Amino acid sequence: MEKQNAIRCVEAARTPSDANYSVNGPSYRKDMYTMNAGDVKERNAGMLLSTVEAPRKSTADDSVFRDEGKYQAYIDSHLHGSGPRNNEKLVSDLSKVIAAHYMKDLKKEYKTSTIDEMSKFIRKSYALDSLKPGELTSALGSENAARSKSLEMRDKLYRVPEDAAFTYSRSMAKVLKNMVDPKGHSEAYQKLYNNVK
């Protein structure tokens, strides 16, 4: 019933005279900020409708914002930790901070089980167990320190220097040049040829 009354108010606000004339005569829009009397009535009726309708449902942006808050709380709890922290606990906390940070950047849904799985992967792939206690403590000093330590470890383990990459590609081109056509050869040779190519 209230919604029907609100709809009637909207219809009453949209009169032909309001659509074409403002209070002082013809209405010509100069820019998006200029309003005439009809716009004001329609906007007020629209506000009335919005109060009668059901409350706004949460959107994906709202859940991302809530998840960012959860991620930040999770990161902060593992940065500062509680109680004594031995080397194992420091490595575990650092891997969890890095995992949570990556998932937050990717806007993934907040789930501690997923963070734990990713932290195990990061711990192994970045060789975080090889870090000394002093390095771990300094990396857990702030979120930026943890992030820079993860980038440092990734580059240390996986980055190929440009001169090495150039030498490798030049060597592979030389191997390909000296290989014979794979037609008529074994399947293994054809695979090797395709991989070198």
DSSP conformation letters of 62-79: HHHHHHHHHHHHHHHHHH
pTM of the predicted protein model: 0.56
84-88, 114-118, 134-138, 175-179: range with lowest mean pLDDT: 84-88
* Confidence band of 69 (pLDDT split at 50, 70, 90): confident
User: What pLDDT sits at residue 77?
Assistant: 87
Q: What percent of the chain has pLDDT over 70?
A: 66
User: Cβ neighbours of residue 103 under 8 Å, at least 6 residues apart?
Assistant: 71, 110, 114, 115, 118
* Confidence band of 4 (pLDDT split at 50, 70, 90): low
The arithmetic mean of pLDDT across residues 75-91, rounded, is: 84
Query: pLDDT tens digits for 111-139?
Result: 989 999 999 999 999 999 999 989 999 99
CB 100 within 8 A of CB 115: yes
DSSP letter for 122, please: H
User: What pLDDT sits at residue 66?
Assistant: 73
User: What pLDDT sits at residue 92?
Assistant: 92
The arithmetic mean of pLDDT across residues 33-37, rounded, is: 45
64-69 LR contacts (CB < 8 Å, sep 24+): 64/107, 66/110, 67/104, 67/107, 67/108, 67/109, 67/110, 68/104
In degrees and rounded to multiples of 5, residue 142 shows phi and psi of -155, 170
User: What pLDDT sits at residue 145?
Assistant: 92
CB 176 within 8 A of CB 197: yes
* Confidence band of 8 (pLDDT split at 50, 70, 90): low
d(CA 189, CA 89): 49
* Confidence band of 30 (pLDDT split at 50, 70, 90): very low
* Confidence band of 3 (pLDDT split at 50, 70, 90): low
Residue for token digits 């420091």?
Answer: 90
23-37, 95-109, 161-175: range with lowest mean pLDDT: 23-37
Query: pLDDT tens digits for 45-62?
Result: 444 434 444 444 444 445
User: What pLDDT sits at residue 117?
Assistant: 94
